[in-house]
Amino acid sequence: MREHIQSYVYTYICHEDERPLCELELRRLFGKAPSASFVESSKAIEPSRSPFIKMRLAVMVEGGNRRDIAEWVKQLNLEGNTFKIVFVECDSSVDYSEQRAIEREIGLHIRGRAEMRTPQRQFGIAKLGSRWVFGALTKSEAIWLHHNEKPQHYSTALSTRVARAVANIAVPDPQGIQAIDPCCGIGTVLIEALSMDMDIVGYDLNPLAVRGARVNLAHFGLPNVVNLGDIRKIEGAYDVLILDLPYNLCSVLPSEDQLDMLIAARRLSRLAVVVSTEEIDSALELSGFMIMDRCTVKKGSFARQVCVCL
C-alpha cells in the first residue's frame, strides 16, 4: 500500500451532445484524453472550474483491496470534525447496494462522528481497475449557472456552460497568460474567464454590445475589461485569442470578412480558439492557422465548430 500526496481522480458527467466538447476541455486541462468516466492526474484543478467535472478525489492512500484502505483510515485524525464517506463511481462493476456497504465499512473504521447531511470533512473511496484509492473529496459547484441571470442577453450568444468550457480550452493554465476576446459581444466568455481569475480583455465594434457587456460584468462584480474596437484595428500581442465569429439568424458572415477577421486574429496571437457555425478549415489555413484539436457542439439541429489553432 502506498500513500500519495499529489494525485487526483476527477469524475465528470455530460450530455451525449456535449461529450465532444467535454472531452476537448479535459484534454486541454489535463494534457491527455479522459477514460470513460474519470481522469487521473497529478494536476490540482478546482472541480468548479469545469462545467463537466463532478468531483475531485485527492488520493491519500491506495491499496489492492478495501481491507488495506480500512486499516489505513484508522490513523486519520479528524480533530473533532464530523465526516462523511462517499463512494466515487469510476468502475461500473460496483452496484448501488455494494457502494453503500463500502461507505459504511470504511466509515466504521474512522474515529469520529459520521454526519450525512452537513459533514465538516468529506472523503471518497473509488475502485480504479484492480486498485482502491481513498482521499479528501471536493464536489463541484455549478458557478456558471448563476451567470445565466445576467441583465443583458443576446439570442445567439454562447450558453454559459459552453462559454466556460471554451475559456478553459483556451486557457488551461491561467498563470502568466494574457488572453483577448476581440468580438466579445455581451461578454459571455469574459464573465466565465474572469470568474476563473483569467487575465483577459474584450473588444467589440458594436457600441450596444460593449455597453451590454459592461452592464453584465458590473452585475457580477467583475472588472470592466471591455473596449470599443474592431478586431482588424486592435494593436498588441496576446498569448491566446478566443474568437466566436459573429453571425445572426438571417445571414452568414461574408467569406471575405471572415478571412479578414481570422488574419487579424493571427496577427494578435499565435494560439487561438475559434468558434464558428460552419466548418472554416480552408479560411483558417489561408489566415496562417493550423488546427491542432477540435470538436463539434450540437444543440438539436444547430451545431458549432470549436477549433484550437496554432
Indicate the pTM of the whole model.
0.95
The interaxial angle of helices 207-219 and 188-195, nearest 10 deg, is 30
Domains and CATH numbers, the chain: 2-139 (3.30.2130.30), 143-309 (3.40.50.150)
pLDDT in tens, 207-223: 999 999 999 999 999 99
**Side chain identity at 244, as an amino acid letter?**
D
The per-residue pLDDT for 248 is 59
Q: How many residues does the chain have?
A: 310
Higher pLDDT, 2 or 83: 83
Q: Which band of pLDDT confidence, cut at 50, 70 and 90, is reported for residue 178?
A: very high
178-193: average pLDDT = 98
Check if the beta carbon of residue 147 is closer than 8 Å to that of residue 187: no
pLDDT in tens, 221-272: 999 999 999 999 999 999 999 999 987 555 567 889 999 999 999 999 999 9
Cell (9 digits) for 202? 474584450
The per-residue pLDDT for 252 is 64
Assess whether pLDDT exceeds 60 at residue 3. no
177-206: average pLDDT = 98
